[in-house]
Amino acid sequence: MSITVLIADDHPLLREGLARILATEPGIEVVGEAGSADEALAKVEELRPDVVLMDISMPGGGLMATREISQRFPDTGVIILTIHDDEQYLYELVRAGAKGYLVKDSEPRRVVEAIRHVHAGGSYLPPDLMDKVLGEFRRLQEGGGTAPERPRTGAEALTARELEILQLIVEGRSNAQIAAALYISEKTVKNHITNILRKLDLHDRTQAAVFALRHGLAKLDDGPDGGP
């Protein structure tokens, strides 16, 4: 079954260019386009795409649309398209529920990789931006900045297995990779992640990874990250 994609951007030429790129990719189908945040929300409700490529700066507010899509349609992954290559800007998008982040001059293969990775249950950042973000977290963990906050209510309710899965999420593992590593089914992984998000009062795995690092529930290592 194809990965269904909605392209939301107020520039028709950019939408057309992305649609042409994705049309050549097996297993990916563009099912609709939107030129504003309101139209994007309406199209997501109508089409229920697997992935939305969302321009953060389009009329109506891409950030607002991302937040609402993440809350109302949690099975749809939002990948942000932006001209901003700034890790501080990224944190706002993570809090809004975005599962991927691409600058608009990314190579076409990066766009395809991001779509496939997010659809598989992972999160996606360009390798150079991932290096910046992980570097900042390493600096904080090594004592160069503020110490991790104490876990808020809900974190203490996580089981040993849930903490194990949370660590693998931080390492950028997809649901399939987590299932293989722990010798359990993908369905079981999804159930665990649902429980983790409920206990921590979070919306998606990206927020869970940031929460885990900030609160000392997981540590960074040299394993795979969210990029290729």
Domain count along the chain: 2
Q: What is the pLDDT of residue 22?
A: 95
- Give the CATH number of the domain where residue 198 resides: 1.10.10.10
Smallest CA-to-CA distance from 90 within 215, 206, 213 is with 206
Could you say which of 109, 124, 139 is where a domain stops? Answer: 124
Q: What one-letter code names the amino acid at 65?
A: A
CB 214 within 8 A of CB 148: yes
Give 55's strand partners.
81
141 within domain boundaries: no
d(CA 186, CA 112): 23
Structure tokens belonging to residue 43? 């199209």
Domain presence at residue 38: yes
- pLDDT tens, the chain, 228 aa long: 899 999 999 999 999 999 999 999 999 999 999 999 999 999 999 999 999 999 988 877 888 899 899 889 989 999 998 876 655 566 677 778 888 888 888 888 889 999 998 998 888 877 666 656 655 555 655 655 544 444 455 777 888 889 899 989 888 888 889 999 999 998 999 999 998 988 888 888 878 888 888 777 887 764 444 444
In which domain, by residue range, is 33 found?
Answer: 3-124
pLDDT computed for residue 86 by the predictor: 57
Domain co-membership, 163 together with 116: no
Same domain, 26 and 94: yes
Q: Order across the sheet with 77-82: list the strands.
A: 28-34, 3-8, 51-55, 77-82, 100-103
Clarify whether residues 101 and 162 are in a common domain: no
**Which neighbouring-strand residues pair with 30?**
5
Residue whose entry in the numeric block shows the structure tokens 């398209």 = 81
CB atoms within 10 A of CB 42: 13
Shared domain for 74 and 165, answered yes or no, is: no
0.75 surpassed by pTM: no
What is d(CA 203, CA 95) in angstroms, rounded to the nearest whole number?
9
The per-residue pLDDT for 50 is 97
The answer to whether residue 226 sits within a structural domain is no
Residue 223: inside a domain, yes or no? no
Alpha-carbon distance of 94 to 115, in angstroms, equals 17
Same domain, yes or no: 167 and 70: no
**DSSP assignment, residue 50?**
S
157 domain residue, yes or no:
yes
Q: Please check whether residues 104 and 154 belong to one and the same domain.
A: no
Same-domain check for residues 26 and 98: yes
Q: What is the pLDDT of residue 224?
A: 46
Same domain, 48 and 118: yes
Q: Write down the pLDDT at residue 47.
A: 96
